[in-house]
Amino acid sequence: MEYGFIKARAVSPELRVADPFFNCEAIAKETERAARDGVQLLVFPELSLSGYTCGDLFLQDALLCGCLKALSSLVERSAGIRTLCFVGLPFVYGGRLYNCAAAYSDGKLLALVPKRNLPNYNEFYEKRHFTEGMRGVVYTEACGATVPFGTDVLFCDDNESAFCVACEICEDLWVPQSPSVAHALAGATVIVNLSASNELVGKSDYRRLLLQSQSAKLVCGYVYADAGIGESTTDMVFAGHNLIAENGVILRESAPFSGKYVDAEIDVRMLESERRRMNAFPTRGEGYAVVRFSTEVAPCTLTREVGRFPFVPEGTELTERCETILSMQAQALAARISRAKAKTAVIGISGGLDSALAFLVTARAFDLLGKDRKEIVAVTMPGFGTTSKTKNHSLGLMRSMGATAKTVGISQSVLRHFEDIGHDPAVTDVTYENAQARTRTLVLMDVANQTGGLVVGTGDLSELALGWCTYNGDHMSMYAVNSSVPKTLVKSLVSYEARRLGGEAERILEGILSTEISPELLPPDAAGNIAQKTEDLVGPYELHDFYLYYCVRRSFPPKKILFLAEYAFKDRYPRATLVKWLKNFYRRFFAQQFKRSCIPDGVKVGSVSLSPRADWRMPSDATAALWLEEIEKEPG
């Protein structure tokens, strides 16, 4: 599939114990269906050709020969099907019996991978019949071909270099040192597990946790196919609990006993990129056999979830996230105030979201320090574009939080400044706007000097990404508490804190949340309403935060970001709009790096930060030509 997405399926077909030909037919039908559905990686359960619960029948030559014949049939019938398939069977090598996974594709048997760790809970478990698989690789004859036999085999796709598969079997996942650890270090981005894990009360939760943990630790995709209907229920029951995980996230799972298969698209290029970022995964391991296969290249159709708000979780997780972030911001600011021995915190209140959040964080910090909130000097500085609505929000918020309120009008100061530099105030250009922003910063800095205080910055991560701030104006402060909080998350944080505070503060904050985002640097319209609306000028913040996440956090190229945006916002924006604002994002992101190269200290609260000291390092004069060229080629 395109953009590095690999469609994987884990399936538990209805089997019969010790009937490899019946099982072969069931597996063949599932393989044909998977091929029609565009599946590129197909995984069946452990010992799926024989059934896992054969007991001492595993010692019968009739069963072993029957499984080999059934495997030969599956391999032959896969001709023309370029899906990489894994089935389980008992296999004899060197006079010993092994629990194996057979990998095949397009009419060719590729390798046999034995199980390394055999459970031995009692005399009826696997060590009664099977031998533990060895490290390394030897070669053996099977299905008329000479193929690798051993645990250390990598299956690599000719058409997608990031699609590299390795295999472990059931118990291999549950032991302290799983084979998949070495497989991932050798380069495997996807681990498949052919399993027959009996069901017990609570075991499905533990199984899910194991997959999440292993896929996160190894930064890999993990496809787990579990035995289900048809296994013997003499002493146990098998639920067919199939799961597909990616880097700590369960993409899909089937409910136990549902009898369903699961599909998901694993983003192998993202996994490869994450590993490069970590710089902890070496290239191909020594002693591994590399087997080539070739999947079908097809247009990408996603079924996995791609949320519109990658920075904002949902449900109860959002509540927990908001409290955690606000606590982190407040603790960091409290530490800075204490270490700076600042008597006050000085903050400009505009009546907008960002300054509201910074003010709420400052109040929390003062509560942590046991300081009187009267020592928070909150300053509203009405200018040419200030509306009565935002001014009233500012004054009301200061009052409700118990801060010391100051009103410093800046219009006359700015007009005098225009006289000094010879600027016509009727020309409402960038000079007209930025002079107001810099005047406000001058006021805050001087008030901080007057009161022995520290200026708390209000700008957020989205504004830094776009450079939507005035250099040495609202760009500057003494500590920037919102610097790693994107605009889409600012709204959630303010809303959460409003509900927590209640009363007058909640009423005012709800008013702020419903107000258009604006720097209010241009005069209001004839009715006294905000005329300068930020999102009309730079684009919707929900798009820019989406683009920011996938550009900086995931390092995706523009085409892939656009593809994901089309999927996530398909009912909200036409393609032409997405292309327009993606171009704008890249132009501004590159052109405005000089502002980010000298931003003040600020607390990092999430996985994306643009601090030049510890996170994002980029030349201020880098060009966006390569990225823009890729977008320009896209229709729309």
**Separation of first and last alpha carbons in the chain:** 22
- Give the whole-angstrom CA distance, residue 521 versus residue 439: 12
Residues 456 and 342: their CA atoms lie apart, in Å, by 11
From the centroid of its chain, how far is CA 132?
37
Helix (H) or strand (E) holding 75: helix 61-77
pTM score of the predicted model = 0.92
Nearest to 194 by CA among 8, 49, 15, 46: 46
What pLDDT score was predicted for residue 636?
58
Beta strands in 283-424 (DSSP E): 289-293, 344-348, 376-380, 404-407
Question: What are the sequence ranges of the domains in the chain?
Answer: 7-293, 316-535+595-613
Q: For position 64, what pLDDT does the model report?
A: 96
List beta partners, residue 145: 142
pLDDT at residue 270 in the model: 97
- pLDDT tens-digit series, residues 204-253: 899 999 999 999 999 999 999 999 988 888 888 888 899 999 999 999 99
**CATH architecture for segment(s) 7-293:** 4-Layer Sandwich (3.60)
User: Other CB atoms closer than 10 Å to residue 233's CB: what's the count?
Assistant: 10
Judge whether 360 and 325 are in contact, CB under 8 Å.
no
Secondary structure of residue 178 in the 3-state scheme: coil
The class (CATH top level) of 316-535+595-613 is alpha beta
Of residues 339, 340, 354, 344, the one with CA closest to residue 394: 354
Per-residue model confidence (pLDDT) at position 135? 86
The residues annotated as belonging to the active site are: 46, 115, 170
pLDDT value of position 297: 80
pLDDT means per 10 residues in the chain (636 residues)?
A: 92 94 97 96 97 92 96 97 97 96 98 93 74 92 95 96 97 94 95 92 91 97 94 86 97 90 96 90 79 88 92 93 98 98 97 96 98 98 92 95 97 97 95 96 98 97 96 96 97 97 96 86 77 82 97 96 96 95 97 96 95 94 95 76
Cβ 506 vs Cβ 496: under 8 Å: no
Phi, psi of 502 (to 5 degrees): 65, -175
Residue 520: predicted pLDDT: 72
